[in-house]
Amino acid sequence: MMNILIMGPPGAGKGTQASRIASFCEIPHISTGDMFRAEIKQASELGKKIKSYLDTGKLVPDEVTVEVIKKRLQQADTQKGFLLDGFPRTIPQAEALDGILKEMGRSLDLVINIKVDPQVLLDRMTGRRVCQKCGATYHIVNQPCRVEGVCDQCGGELYQRSDDTVETVSNRLDVYQKQTAPLLEYYRQRGIVAEVNGEQSIDDVFKEIEQVIRSIAR
């Protein structure tokens, strides 16, 4: 059984690696975004509450997020373990998670932190371009289109999303750093943080993660 938390700044490739880890360990990938959407779709009381916050552009408060996490961790498919993605983000959330897991007689076994230099992240995220017609995604350095500004697939015009500008990305990285540095220290004190180099290829990042998991699972 393996209870894992994956961390890393925006653009570090957490989502890609999380899917691979969940498949490798045969555990559910628990993402707060996915859970929020599932609750809203079910139109549960919790879902209605979440929707009311999201519709007005507000952050979902900790107590609501914690309620959603608790409900999800009590489901049968988490018996062999789980992979948390996007929660906790702050010390109070981490303390709430400790409380939930303690009630269940469980604890976190591993925190995987994908490290990427902020400048690399800035280049990665600000270089993204999206087709206005079909939504295909390109990158001006890593995955350029054949004709500048024109989609290879449908000939549509490519644009830069408003959340991919230097200013917006820098702000997101700053917020992450301020929120998350204390959280990493919180888990480092328990000796369960494994740092992984996120500047490698997707396959090499996963190889490193796989080695970490195997060493702990022994």
20 among known catalytic residues: no
Q: Is 41 a catalytic residue?
A: no
Catalytic residue among 72, 124, 128, 129: 128
Residue 164 is encoded by which pair of tokens? 């991919």
Indicate which residue of 14, 72, 124, 129 is catalytic.
Answer: 14
Which of 161, 188, 190, 214 is catalytic? The answer is 161
Among candidate residues 49, 51, 71, 89, the one labeled active-site is 89
Helix (H) or strand (E) holding 125: helix 118-126
Q: Please state the three-class secondary structure of 127-181 as a single string.
A: CEEEECCCCCEEECCCECCCECCECCCCCCEEECCHHHCHHHHHHHHHHHHHHHH
> Does 106 qualify as catalytic in the annotation?
no
Ramachandran bin of 117, using left for φ above 0, alpha for ψ from -120 to 50, beta for the remaining angles: beta
> Is 129 marked active-site?
no
207 labelled catalytic: no
As annotated, the active-site residues are 14, 89, 128, 161, 172
